[in-house]
Amino acid sequence: MKGFQGVSTDVWRDWRWQMRERVLDEQVLADLVRLTADERAAIEATRGVFRWSITPYYASLMDPDDPACPVRRQVVPSLSEVEPDLVGVVDPLEEMAHSPVRNVIHNYRDRVAFCVTTECAIYCRYCLRKRMVGDAEQMMSRSELREGIAYIAAHPEIRDVLVTGGDPLTYGDRMLDWLLGELRAIGHVEIIRIGTRMPVKLPYRIDDALCSVLARHHPLWLNTHFNHPKELTPDAAESIDRLLRAGVPVGNQTVLLKGINDDADTLRDLFEGLVRMRVRPYYLYQSQLIGGTAAFRTSIERGMDLMESLRGRTSGFAIPVYVLDTPFGKVPLDRSWVMGRSGDHVVMRTTRGETWAEPNPVPVSEEGVRGRLPEIPMPEGAHTIATGPGAREAGWVVQATDAV
């Protein structure tokens, strides 16, 4: 591609070279795409706020002439990230409050998420863990990893460990083999899962050596994160095929992103393309209330409409579950759980018997979805999220752990 002319195929497919040559500089990016004035301003305005980085492979998927390109928008900073965001917070799932030891999130009785690294090959602009990814001070030392492993070993109720981050496949094979071996040696850990975006952003990481490591630690599952059909490349399909041949089942977790995949045709093309690659569409996530991500958020009604539009138009196993992640666990966003709208909140029952009120103002561009959910009064005792400075003055109910 432009900017990487003369790179041999062998070098291009070397995942370590891809990591070393990540695009981290405005001028290098400008050699690859025609940067707009807003993009240039955003790179400067977000400096010190949230890191950006793009692998040469993922950069090759961007349209150099279209700033609205669905790949480009996921990784190139935008000025919307530094605009006032009334409902954006740092840790909407209260993961830090659910971490008894560093980076072990124990929010479900029988499973934990173990954030073993803060490093990623690329930094998605809507990332759930913007508070920690890319931050060298947040990196886990070997002793801290051992503390996390010891916590898991000391809790026999934990049967399922999600190894996540950051992206755990930024580890080298030897380090990953050690970590998975330590977890597999814990008798009550039945399942290990890996959460990674490597098949999407750097498929060459999924090489034969890595697959040999993974195959030593079964039962092991992997969930990845394709958001748009443009990401379903032959190289991505090859990486998935390697995983499957190593006996690793692959699922996909998509985030619903405004202007990127929030239309029925795009979602159907994505999910059907995943199925052709033998990847099971698992979840479609409602975009989280991370500070600076308002431009990516849709109304929940819009997401419900999209999911209903897919029924009858494609195979049932090509349709994921549309969910909202909350401090009380994941809630399916359908009429079995969603009670209605109370002003700018969507109210729902959680699987733990609590009532959750998600701040979800309807964007002006989606006014037509109003009436999709019944208007209800805010239930007594409902929980909601802290929504940042000025929340009380703006009429928001605050603190997820306090009943309202």
Provide the pLDDT for residue 44. Answer: 94
Provide the pLDDT for residue 126. Answer: 87
Q: Which CATH superfamily is domain 104-340 in?
A: Aldolase class I (3.20.20.70)
- Looking at 47-51, 89-93, 340-344, which range is the least confident one? 89-93
Q: Which residues have a Cβ under 8 Å from the Cβ of 130 and sit 6 or more positions away?
A: 50, 90, 290, 291, 292
Instruction: Give me the mean pLDDT over the 178-197 stretch.
Output: 98
For residue 135, pLDDT beyond 70: no
Average pLDDT, the chain: 91
For residue 165, pLDDT beyond 60: yes
Provide the pLDDT for residue 380. Answer: 92
Q: Give which of 323, 332, 342 is closest to 382, Cα–Cα.
A: 342
d(CA 332, CA 374): 17
Q: Give which of 254, 344, 329 is closest to 94, Cα–Cα.
A: 329
Indicate where the chain has its CATH 3.20.20.70 domain(s). Answer: 104-340
Q: How many CB atoms lie within 10 A of CB 35?
A: 19
d(CA 24, CA 46): 13
For residue 85, give Cα distances in angstroms to 75, 297, 301. 19, 11, 21
Q: Which residues of 152-171 are buried (b: 16+ CB within 10 A; e: fewer)?
A: bbebeebeebbbbbbbbbbb
Q: Where are the beta strands (DSSP E) in 256-362?
A: 280-285, 321-326, 329-332, 338-342, 345-349, 355-359
For residue 145, give Cα distances in angstroms to 79, 176, 177. 36, 12, 13
pLDDT interval class at 379 (50, 70, 90): very high
Q: Can you read off the two tokens belonging to residue 2?
A: 């432009």
Query: In this predicted model, what pLDDT tens digit does every residue of 54-101 receive, in sequence order?
Result: 999 999 999 999 999 999 999 999 999 888 776 777 777 887 888 999
- Looking at 39-53, 74-88, 138-152, 347-361, which range is the least confident one? 74-88
Q: Which helix (H) or strand (E) holds 224?
A: strand 220-224
Q: What is the pTM of this model?
A: 0.92
Q: Which helix (H) or strand (E) holds 142?
A: helix 142-153
What is the spatial order of strands in the sheet that 250-255 belongs to?
Answer: 104-108, 111-115, 160-164, 191-195, 220-224, 250-255, 280-285, 321-326, 329-332
Instruction: Give me the mean pLDDT over the 99-105 stretch.
Output: 93
Q: Are 250 and 240 in contact (CB under 8 A)?
A: yes
Provide the pLDDT for residue 400. Answer: 37
At residue 100, φ and ψ (nearest 5 deg) are: -70, -30
What number of helices (H) and strands (E) belong to the chain?
13, 12
d(CA 85, CA 47): 18
Q: What does the DSSP 8-state code read for residue 296?
A: G
Q: Can you read off the two tokens belonging to residue 293?
A: 């991500």
Cis peptide bond prior to 374, omega within 30° of 0: no
Query: In this predicted model, what pLDDT tens digit does every residue of 272-316 receive, in sequence order?
Result: 999 999 999 999 999 998 888 999 999 999 999 999 999 999 999
For residue 387, pLDDT beyond 80: no
Query: In this predicted model, what pLDDT tens digit does every residue of 211-248 receive, in sequence order?
Result: 999 999 999 999 999 999 999 999 999 999 999 999 99
